[in-house]
Structure 1
């Protein structure tokens, strides 16, 4: 791992690496710029990401491509109603020497794609969410540390909700970002179809090592934040809480629940990383605003009045900004 002479040099290196990563990902993934940016920010901020989008929008391909470019181990777990916690974490088996031996599950990877996480019962969801929070797995009284860096990207299909187990608010809160995927534009889809229906072979360059990623994760935390930006981030989260002195009229009228302190933490971390990848040495309010929507989207709950009047969560966040 190369040592940088100063923090500004290290931030410049992160910004340059980010540009290279985007360039490599762009060889495979057409469009989805905001989605790619959000996923990379959450990786460098040591957070996790929830992707919500209809099938066929290259969610799996995106994660696989990022794993290749960052030279990280990758596993995909297809969540189904019969999936057990041990299918994720691993289990102990009795070996030939009559001693129990731990067989690691698919969660022992740097990047986990939790496909359709809302298709599995809460007990199994909780097994993955514990791993996300603690970065450890406990089986048979023994603690096993997960490889670092560790990043979970979970997907949900917003259309077909029959037979699903929606993630409760407390578990949704563990995800740094909730990113909505939309359909590509006509030109983007044209390019996707052209690329995927020909005999095109793309070589991806590995941009960073695991040590470099961990270094940049530490770097993001050390980036200084001015008091006014810190206060702006905390104030933004506080404004979403109905019934409090900071709440706006819209919030009191349309929300039944607001964002907790974890939102404030992620707003500051996300703003630091957003500033760094753009070559800035300290975040400003614009950086907080840039990451606010995917951070607050899954942390505020609309009431019946908002639903009746067709007021979306995104609409309320934009009014707050």
Structure 2
């Protein structure tokens, strides 16, 4: 059913990337990213001092060197794959839709993308934060920013947010297809699903009826923990394992990228990979199902740094499954999310 009132705007939003791998741009990115109260959820003054006096000055030069390893001829993979997917989605959706790409931090900004959509007289906007699992620091932050911008508008179109898409069959199929390419070519002793971590306190703050205990409560996925990031990650892994034909003993779910002294959700990936070779699991296939495009946390952290640790501990092969990037099944997944969102709006 065509929207007679106007075109449908589609806003794809990823986390962000520095404009270049130079120290100055990396420092600028870190400051914007880490000053978000949903990312580092401590009082403003404490956050400002931590970010501007400690993290940004000392971490930026080190991070810049890592970004230089990640950077390709086309730039940041997260950026150029985002542009590719935007164009492919635009092509498959057709002229009744206008697709824009934005980054939560740095450029292109959410505000510039929303302004572009409104200039094309869209009557509704479907916002898809490109994070399969909901977390306050990712999807929640995107929603917060969009609402901060649009509440100042004189005319606000219909807004529809996609909170998560971990149960979308095409999302699972896309990652499973990439994994099967490796499983068909080689024998692996174990599979690791590594997700970005968040502080435990953020899980507890969002717990419904104080349900979350950061343990066996994540073994099932239902209404009370549907927005618990840890529970969503475990459920994503179960769906992927089922698609790949794995039983529970053949895979492990773990979390990476912790920061500071406060406990983050566990188990930690670096701890897990040190144990695997001692258990006779020396050939490992690793997935990063929290990321839909290659980035620092996948290519460098999981692909290179974890591989180095694994081999030092006696492992023989560590293989990272690349992110969805511009895979056609991923593009079809996004198309299905747009179609479903429009149907829900019409039925309501």
Q: TM-score range by the shorter chain?
A: under 0.3
* Structure holding more helix per residue: 2
TM-score, normalised to structure 2, is 0.24
